[in-house]
Amino acid sequence: MVATVERAAAVAPVRRRAPMRRRQARTALAFLAPALLFFALLFFYPLLRELYTSVFTGPRADVYAGLGNYTKAFDDPVARHAFWVTVQYGLGVVVGAIVLGLVLAVILNQRMRGRSVFRGILLVPYLTSIAIVGLLWRNILDPDTGILNRVLHSVGLPTQNLLAEHPLATLVAVAIWQQVGYTTVLFLAGLQGIPELYYEAAEVDGASVWRRFRHVTLPLLAPTTLFVSVIGVISAMQEFALPYLVTQGGPDNASDLYVYQVWKTAFGFRDFGYASALSYLLLIVILVLSLVQLKVGQRGES
Amino acid sequence: MASPERNRTDRLFPGARGVGYAVVLVVCLLTVIPLAYMISLSLQSDGEILAGNPVLWPAHLHFDNYQRLFGEVPYARFFVNSTVMAGTITIAHLILDPLAGYAFAKFSFPFKRTLFIAVLATLMVPFFVRMIPVYVLFSQLGWLNTYQGLVVPFLCDAYGIFLMRQFLAALPDELIDAGRADGAGELRIFARIILPQAKPALAVLALFTFVFQWNNFLWPLLATSTTDMRTMPVGLTMFNQEYFTQWNLTAAGAVVLFVPTAVLFFFTQRYLVRGVALTGLK
């Protein structure tokens, strides 16, 4: 009898906890419901719908085409060209932003007067709308109405027509101009995570400044560099506004970036099926890049 | 933390410190000058922006360009539209992201891991993939050229949820238990106990969400076609005709678009820098 009471007393709190756990689950799901509904309707449903549309053709995307849009993409010189242009653009932006960002971060990582002001200034373009960035540089670089030629001329330099002669490189430069502050801040955070101890040890070993940079700073910054390069390539490969606003993909499609091409295919030529297939192909490339980053990043951690 | 060893580059080569200063200074000038030129351009006369005659600084400051900006196009309307879009999305994030983040941080429930991975997976879905189907869906719903059309695709995101989860997971469980012991409802605990504790993270979240949506270009360009529903970034392109661009008015519009983010940045720089660094520390 006593034992039963004792057992009941021991069981009671557990019994009380069980419905509480259910209540917790109900609360959690209620709190999650709006977000989950949002992701279902505005991420996963569009993702499936895009896949569905990609096997149709015609102006209303209602003629079944099987994998036709995908095979077409691989043979389509315009799409292939857009893809390679985009790869060049992405690599150019990332390499440029990393090299310049790393240099600036190493300099700014020292104690220097006005450090946070410089860092703040460098971040301003990153927080400026791409619409401003694109239009502003189009104006400055315009061979006739732009101020750059006037300045070059006044110091005796030859006039430029960069947007006509080197459209892709110019867009790369504009993108670096906008992003370098972001890269710098990421590298600064990475540098501040390197324990001072490592440098002291290297110094005791008599390592030169350059050797310390090569053998301490660079390897320890590798995770940051990996993150910056993969995220940088992924976001650069999605660039739309710069070709749209600055070059219209020209001249001669030289700056015809992929998403701008997708946009024209969908909303210019009204070929939603083909545009959807093109989107999916770039999505696959981006997913592979993301997974590479995840895998390599995990290995780096362990 | 700071030690005298921080001035290492001094021994790289004589004068390395000076060179470093010079590099940073040049890059900062290259950053500031185009933006300063944008202000100059916004004050130039119609004659000064004509082909062949660009000037660094206008002979007379044409502040009336700003009057024209609000007179010749409904730029005030664009301003309101931008504010409504960025403001509504920010408020939605401030509610939905911590709600979901709190659930993931402090509750146990079935399929928690699966749901969390599903949410994180959306980080890998770029906007261009959603652009066409969401456009088609909204055109069927009659949501193009409406505020809900501008706002709904961005109501919450995995980045914000992840940020809030990381932040709220560090809060002690006793806070919640104390609330429950007092008999407070779960929603009340969330609103009165959890949210106030999360203010620093919410500030970062709000700043980033607002600035990015204020600057958003692609979706408003696609989701609106009527003049009265355009936002500022898209409205800027209206002075941009095939053979002639009203550059002074474009620049004036750009300044109006730029100034609020610049002011916000000036007052919240520390948060923003921390937020940017956070995106790299995932």
Task: ipTM value, please give it.
Answer: 0.91
Query: Does residue A71 surpass a pLDDT of 70?
Result: yes
d(CA B87, CA A122): 26
Across residues A179-200, what is the average pLDDT? 89
DSSP E strand stretches across chain B: none
In this predicted structure, the answer to whether residue B3 has a pLDDT above a threshold of 50 is: no
3-state SS assignment for residue B259: helix
Average of per-residue pLDDT values in chain B: 90
Q: Is the pLDDT of residue B236 over 50?
A: yes
Distance CA A82, CA A259 (A): 9
Confidence of residue A21 (pLDDT cuts 50, 70, 90): confident
Is the CB of A279 less than 8 angstroms away from the CB of B5?
no
User: Does A132 contact B34 at a Cβ distance shorter than 8 Å?
Assistant: no
Residue A186 C-alpha, separation from nearest chain B C-alpha, in angstroms:
5
Angstroms from A141 CA to nearest CA on chain B: 11
Write the residue in A45, A50, A107 that is nearest to B20 by C-beta. A107
Q: According to the model, what pLDDT value does residue A168 have?
A: 97
Residue A298 pLDDT greater than 90, yes or no:
no
Beta-carbon contacts of B136 under 8 Å, excluding residues fewer than 6 positions away, are A49, A53, A272
How many CB pairs below 8 A link A and B? 276
Q: Residue A193 has what pLDDT?
A: 84
In the prediction, which pLDDT does B1 show? 40
Contact yes or no for A238 and B6 at CB 8 A: no
Q: List the single residue in A31, A137, A267 with the smallest CB-CB distance to B99.
A: A31
Range with the largest mean pLDDT of A35-39, A198-202, B171-175: A35-39
Are B249 and B49 in contact by the 8 Å Cβ rule? The answer is no
- Would you state the pLDDT for residue A17? 57
Question: Which of B110, B125, B152 minimises the CB distance to A43?
Answer: B125
Q: Is the pLDDT of residue A159 over 90?
A: no
**B115 contacts A132? CB cut-off 8 A:** no
B279 vs A21: CB contact, 8 Å cut-off? no
Structure tokens at B193: 């106990």
**pLDDT value for B241:** 72
* A285/B3 Cα distance (integer angstroms): 45
- Highest mean pLDDT: which range of A141-145, A291-295, B108-112, B147-151: B147-151
To the nearest whole angstrom, how far is the Cα of A240 from the nearest Cα of chain B? 8
Cα–Cα distances in angstroms (integers) from residue A125 to residues A73, A122, A179, A224, B192, in the given order: 35, 7, 7, 21, 38
Residue A223, pLDDT score: 85
**Chain A residue numbers touching B279 (CB-CB < 8 A):** 186
**Residue A169 burial by Cβ neighbours in a 10 Å radius (0-12, 13-18, 19+):** middle
Q: CA-nearest residue of chain A to B231?
A: A131
Rounded to an integer, what distance in angstroms lies between the CA atom of residue B211 and that of residue B90? 9
Residue B6 pLDDT greater than 70, yes or no: no
Quote the percentage of chain B above a pLDDT of 70: 92
Q: Distances from the Cα of A211 to the Cαs of A60, B17, B207, in angstroms?
A: 62, 18, 40
DSSP state of A216: I
Predicted confidence (pLDDT) per residue in A217-241, tens digit:
888 888 889 888 998 999 999 999 9
Q: How many residues does chain A have?
A: 302
**Terminal Cα-to-Cα distance of chain A (whole angstroms):** 56
Q: Which candidate from B49, B100, B118 shows the least CB-CB separation from A31?
A: B100
Cβ of A32 within 8 Å of Cβ of B124? The answer is no
Q: Across the interface, do A272 and B136 touch by the CB < 8 Å criterion? A: yes
* pLDDT value for A301: 56
Mutate to test the interface with A, among B276, B278, B279 (most CBs of A within 10 A): B276
* Collapsed DSSP state (helix, strand, coil) of residue B262: helix
Do A154 and A161 meet the contact criterion of CB atoms below 8 Å apart?
A: no
Hey, are the CB atoms on A43 and B50 less than 8 Å from each other? Answer: no
- Does B147 have pLDDT greater than 70? yes
Question: Which chain B residue shows the shortest CA-CA distance from A224?
Answer: B280
Which pair of tokens denotes residue B178? 């104390």
pLDDT of residue B16: 77
Per the CB < 8 Å rule, is A49 touching B133?
Answer: yes
Q: To 10 degrees, what angle do helices B158-169 and B75-106 make?
A: 40
Kindly state the percentage of chain B with pLDDT values over 90: 71
- Beta carbons of B5 and A196 less than 8 Å apart: yes
In contact, A69 and A273? CB cutoff 8 Å: yes
CB B236 within 8 A of CB B214: no
The predicted-structure confidence for B72-119, as pLDDT tens digits, reads as follows 889 999 999 999 999 999 999 999 999 999 999 999 999 999 999 999
Residues of A in contact with B233 (CB under 8 A): 129-132
End-to-end C-alpha distance for chain B, whole angstroms:
23
pLDDT in tens, B10-59: 556 677 788 889 999 999 999 999 999 999 999 999 888 886 778 889 99
Give the confidence band of B2 by pLDDT, cuts at 50, 70, 90.
very low
> Inter-chain contact A139–B236, Cβ cutoff 8 Å?
no
Task: Examine the pLDDT at A13 and tell me if it is beyond 60.
Answer: no
Residues of B in contact with A199 (CB under 8 A): 5, 8
What share of chain A in percent tops pLDDT 70?
93
Cα distances (Å, whole numbers) of residue A224 to A183, A241, A301: 10, 27, 12
Let me know if B91 is exposed, middle or buried by CB neighbors in 10 A (0-12, 13-18, 19+). Answer: middle
In order of their start, the domains of chain A are: 71-301 (1.10.3720.10)
**Which of these ranges, B150-154, B208-212, B266-270, has the smallest mean pLDDT?**
B266-270
pLDDT of A251 higher than 50: yes
Report the gap between the CA of B257 and the closest CA in chain A (Å).
Answer: 8
* pLDDT at position B227 over 50: yes
Give me the pLDDT at residue A18, please: 63
Domains and CATH numbers, chain B: 4-65 (no CATH), 73-239 (1.10.3720.10)
Q: What is the pLDDT of residue A182?
A: 92
Given an 8 Å threshold on Cβ–Cβ distance, is B265 in contact with A123? yes
Q: What pLDDT, on the 0 to 100 scale, is given for residue B70? A: 93
What does the pLDDT average to over A155-167? 92
pLDDT at B173 over 70: yes
SS3 B54: coil
Higher pLDDT, B172 or B277: B172
Chain A CB contacts of B195 below 8 Å:
none
In this complex, the residue of A111, A129, A147 whose CB is nearest that of residue B215 is A129
H or E element in which residue A64 lies: strand A63-64
Mean pLDDT of chain A: 89
* Whether residue B238 has pLDDT greater than 50: yes
User: Which of helix, strand or coil describes residue A111?
Assistant: coil
Residue B4 pLDDT class (50, 70, 90 cuts)? very low
Question: Is the pLDDT reported for residue B222 higher than 50?
Answer: yes
Candidates B11, B109, B236; nearest CB to A209? B11
Are A120 and B97 in contact (CB < 8 Å)? no
pLDDT at A4: 47
Query: Looking at the partner chain, which of A29, A212, A283 has a beta carbon nearest the beta carbon of B109?
Result: A29
Instruction: Give the per-residue pLDDT at A145.
Output: 86
